[in-house]
Structures are given as C-alpha cells and as structure tokens.
Structure 1
Amino acid sequence: MESFSPLPAAIGGSLIGLAAAVLWLGNGRIAGISGIFGQLLPPAQTVVWRVVFLLALVGAAFGTARLFPAIGMGGDVPASLVEAPAAWSIPTPAWLAVAGLLTGLGTKIGNGCTSGHGVCGIARLSRRSFVAVGVFFGVAMLTVFVTGVV
C-alpha cells in the first residue's frame, strides 16, 4: 500500500452508508448496484429511480476525481485506472473488459455484489451476506496474489 488515507476513506464510507440508508428508508430498496443495474435491461417498472441513482453514482465519482485528483493516491499522482500486469502481455482495455465480465458473472452467481451484501446485507445481519463478503475478500486476496497487482 503506497499511502494510508483514513480521513478520505472514512468520509467516503460514511457517504456510501448514508446513500444506502437514504435509499432503503426513502424507497424501500437495497443499494446493491448489480441489482439496480441488472433491472435496467429489460426495463423494470421502476426504471426512473434506478437511472437517477446510477447517474448520481457515476457523476459523484467523476466529480470527486476532478475536484480532488490526488486524494488517496499519495502526493501529486492523479487517480487512474489500474494497468494490466506487464508480464501478461494483455492490453489494458481487454484486461478491464474481462474483469468486468467476470465481475458481472460473479454477481449473478452470488446473487449480489459488494455493495448489496457488504454494505446493506451485513448491516441487516444477513448470514448469506456474511458468507458472500468472506468469499469476495478471499477471491480478491487470491487475485492480488496471482496477478501481483495491488
């Protein structure tokens, strides 16, 4: 780990928790991104709030990256996408596409993603979510070990 930034992490985590709580209390929905996105195609009856939520999610990340380009990266290094491991000779766009497809497959198999299970499920003390998050972290550690990308 190149830098330790507890304040931005605490602020970001608090905002994620607040957003999940507002969506749950205000709309009765769990803030699981894979479920929210997955119901767009084919469109569910409740498509408007899903589009608004996803646009706000992407817009907030984009705005934060522009307003605070070096936050959490250490020093003057701007935020950027992770490059594919050089030893694997895979172009970064292909690496990201495969990673995205595997993530989508995993969320389908796991019936949810880290936001649904990790933020909302654990907060509701769901046993299934505790198991899912354990699997997520185990696979993440294995991936870092195999690829060497931190």
Structure 2
Amino acid sequence: MDGWALLLRWMGLPTLDYALVGRWLGHMREGRWWHRPIQHSTPIPHERLLGWGAHYALGILFALLLWMVAGEGWLRQPTLAPALVFGVATVIVPWCVIQPAFGAGVAASRTPKPWRARVQSAATHAVFGVGLFIGALVVA
C-alpha cells in the first residue's frame, strides 16, 4: 500500500496523510471523535508517528483476520482471490469510520470529488489485498 501511495503522489494524486490518523487518535483521548474537517483540528505531538503506527497495526490485524477467515490451508497454499476480496472489503473501514470521523462524510460524500476518492480508496485496498497474497506466498 505504501508503494502504491508513493506512486499516486508521484502522479499528483492526493493520498491520506497518516499524521491526520494520529491527530484523530490523539483527540480521542479528549473525547473528540468527529472533526469538520480534521485538517482544521489542533495538531497533537507526534501525530505522524502515531498515525503511521496505527496504519501498520491495523494492517497486521487485518492480515491476522484474513488468516483466521481463510484458514491454515490457504496460508499453506495461498491463492489471490481470497486475499483480493478481503483487501477490497477492508475499504469499509475508511468509508464508514475514518472518512466520516474526519469530516469527509460516509464514503467521502462531502469531498469535492467523492467518486474519485471512492475509486482511489477501493484501488488502494485492492493493492493491499495483493500485498496480503504476496505476504502469504512468502510465508508459504
């Protein structure tokens, strides 16, 4: 996913700034879960580190969840389809939790180009699914 994000930035497309994830998590300690938009919320110390840490922790959690759902047999002989479907399904988290909490609405509905944001999110999570598959191949 990170390589994909670099490619998108190189192409001039905006990607998620994980410092904003850290800002969101940092404000949760104060009981603030919703922002309009999060870019206007007060920065917190070390938000970039916190956001990147959360990004990787969630990715690891999703990988473990795929392993639990697909089973030991899939991990021994991985195929692309389960990982790809699972990866795309994880787009539910940004669409239904993160984007609304950031003030962007459900599935980026309050952004200037919601369909572009949706397609980019789905593509990014498809890339995550491919990464899960490649990771399973390495483990196998």
Fold shared by both chains (TM-score > 0.5): no
If you compute each CA radius of gyration, which structure gives the higher value, 1 or 2?
1
TM-score bracket, shorter-length normalisation = 0.3 to 0.5
Higher helix share: 2
